[in-house]
Amino acid sequence: MSEPGSGAPGAGMHAIPAQPPPARRAPVLGAIGVTLAVFAAFPVLFTDPTTTSIAFFTLIFMISATAWNIFSGYSGYLALGHAVFFGSGAYAVAMSAKSWHVAGGWPVFALLPFGGLIAGAIAIPVGLVALRTRRHTFVVVTIAIFFIFQLAATNFGFTGGTSGMLFPIAPFSAANYNQPFYYVALALLVATTFVSWSVRRSRFGLQLLAIRDDEDRALGLGVKTRRVKLGAFVLSAVPVGMAGGLYFYFVGQVFPQFAFDPLFDLALALMAFLGGLGTVAGPLLGALVLESLQQYLTQTFSSDAIYLIAYGVLFLAVILILPRGVVPSIATLVRRRHAARSHPAGTMPEPRLRETAA
């Protein structure tokens, strides 16, 4: 690549479209449509309750990993305490259903936004404290705060202590019990993905990515870094809270040790890493692969121990072999292929705007 200005300073004068080449927009939309159709048709095609419940769990993790990525993936600050929001959302829904005497079934689903709201409200003070610290301390502080919540849920009276809280019984038939949960989760997933995609292409998202790459310089370009980080933190807590409410409503009961599970946070991080941190599709893909694999592993190996070992080894392998994740690696590969085909020797293609996150 020659230096600009080395030949003629006006060399860049030829017009360049403000939009990246609109190539392949239709196929992308088509692929999204097909994927959505497949997801929507899944419980109709596979009615076995074991299969549909695995599918439901997978959706829950796709929501949570996508939401986690809105903060941690875009800003580069690793949060390992999102179980706080998962659990708080679940407790908020369970408690409000109980105190407002909400009947089981669809009315409980209507409480999910309340769970998300509570999770978001909790994220404000948590973020205010945790985001004061530098990146690596931040990780540890989120872990510490997570343990505070776990302890509180176990010990407070109004959370029901170790025996947890019951949700109202969902009046769905045994054969079709999973379907409503599945479709609510799918709707939530679509909404969360839309938020993640909107953030990624918004000014706000650009500010987050700028913080990830060089926080000091972003500040020097007028980005209110503290406010942006806190905003993203809260925004990423809300869907996790809703997912928590939904998940434990499906289970029927919320216990502190499951609601506040350290493996949950690690799972989100691993999924996002596997798929590609800071991309929209990465956490979706990572959660889809990992959660279904995890469910499969738990069913195949009855032993917890082997499951843990397999999980840990997989995690290590992903971080050491594919630190950038699958999606960015494939994107690079495709770009190179494309470049080799359409740009003979030496010239570079123009990659599209959203593929540059790595």
Partner 1 sequence: MTLSAFAQAVVDGVLTGGVYALMAAGLTLIFGVMDIINIAQGIMVILGAYLSYELSAHVGIGLLPGLLLTVPAMFVLGVAIEFGFMRRLRDQDRTQMSILVTYAVAIVIEGIVTAVAGVDYVQLQASYVNSSIHMLGFYLPDIYLIGFGLAVALMAGLYFMLYRTKFGHAVRASLQNRTAADLIGIDVSRVRTISVGIGVAVTAVGGMVFGATNAFNPNTGYDLISRLLAIVILGGMGSIGGAMGAAIFLLVINDVVAVWWSPTWAPLVYFAALVVVLSVRPRGLFGRAAVRAQ
Partner 2 sequence: MSPLIEVAGVSKAYGGVNALSDCDLEVHEGQVNGLIGPNGSGKTTLFNVITGYERIRHGKVSLQGADITNTTPDRVFGLGIGRTFQLTRLFMRLSVLENMLVATQRHEGWLRSIVRRAGSAQEKRRALELLDFVGITRLAHEPAGNLSYGQRKLLELASLLVADPAILLLDEPAGGVNPTLIKHLADRIRELNRSGKTIVVVEHNMEFVMSLCSRITVLSQGRALVSGTPAEVRSDPAVLDAYLGGEDDPSTQRQLASVAPGSAPAATVGTPPAASPRFPRPSPSEPRDDALLRLRNVTAGYGGGDILKDVTLDVPRGSITCVVGPNGAGKSTLMATISGLLRPRLGDIRFGHEVISGRTPKRILASGIAHIPQAHSLFPDMTVRQNVEMGAYTISDRALVRRRLAAVEELYPIVRDRAHVKAGSLSGGQQRLIEFARCLMLDPELILLDEPSMGLDPLTRGFVFEMVQQMNARGKTILLVEQNARAGLKLSSHGVVLENGIVRLTGSGAEVLAHPEIGALYLGGAVATAG
Residue 254 belongs to what H/E stretch?
Answer: strand 253-254
Q: Closest CB to partner 1 among 111 and 287?
A: 287
Cα distance between residue 198 and residue 205, in whole Å: 8
Q: Closest CB to partner 1 among 75 and 178?
A: 75
Given the rule CB under 8 A, which of 22-30, 99-107, 134-142, 176-184 is the region that contacts partner 1? 134-142
The reply to whether 336 sits near partner 2 by the rule CB under 8 A is: no
Give Cα 7 distance to the centre of its chain: 47
Q: Which of 44, 45, 305, 345 binds partner 1 (CB under 8 A)?
A: 305
Q: Enter the tokens of residue 148.
A: 């505070």
Q: Which of 101, 157, 216, 344 binds partner 2 (CB under 8 A)?
A: 216
Maximal CA-CA distance, the chain: 76
**What's the min distance (Å) between Cβ of 79 and partner 1?**
11
Q: Enter the tokens of residue 215.
A: 């926080």
Cα distance between residue 197 and residue 70, in whole Å: 9
The reply to whether 348 sits near partner 2 by the rule CB under 8 A is: yes
By a kind-dependent CB cut-off of 5 to 8 A, residue 212 interacts, out of partner 1, partner 2, none, with partner 2
Q: Report whether 275 contacts 326 (CB < 8 A).
A: yes
Give Cα 87 distance to the centre of its chain: 16
**What's the min distance (Å) between Cβ of 286 and partner 2?**
19
Number of C-alpha atoms within 13 angstroms, CB side, residue 147? Answer: 5
Which one, of 126, 283, 105, 274, lies nearest residue 192 by Cα?
A: 283
Residue 159, helix vs strand vs coil: coil
**What's the min distance (Å) between Cβ of 73 and partner 1?**
13
Which residues form the interface with partner 2 (CB under 8 A)?
A: 1, 3-6, 9-14, 16, 18-20, 198-199, 201-207, 209-210, 212-214, 216-225, 227-228, 231, 235, 348, 350-353, 356-358
Which residues form the interface with partner 1 (CB under 8 A)?
A: 76, 78, 80, 128-129, 132-137, 139-141, 143-145, 147-148, 151-152, 154-155, 262-263, 266, 269-270, 273, 303-313, 315-316, 319-320, 323
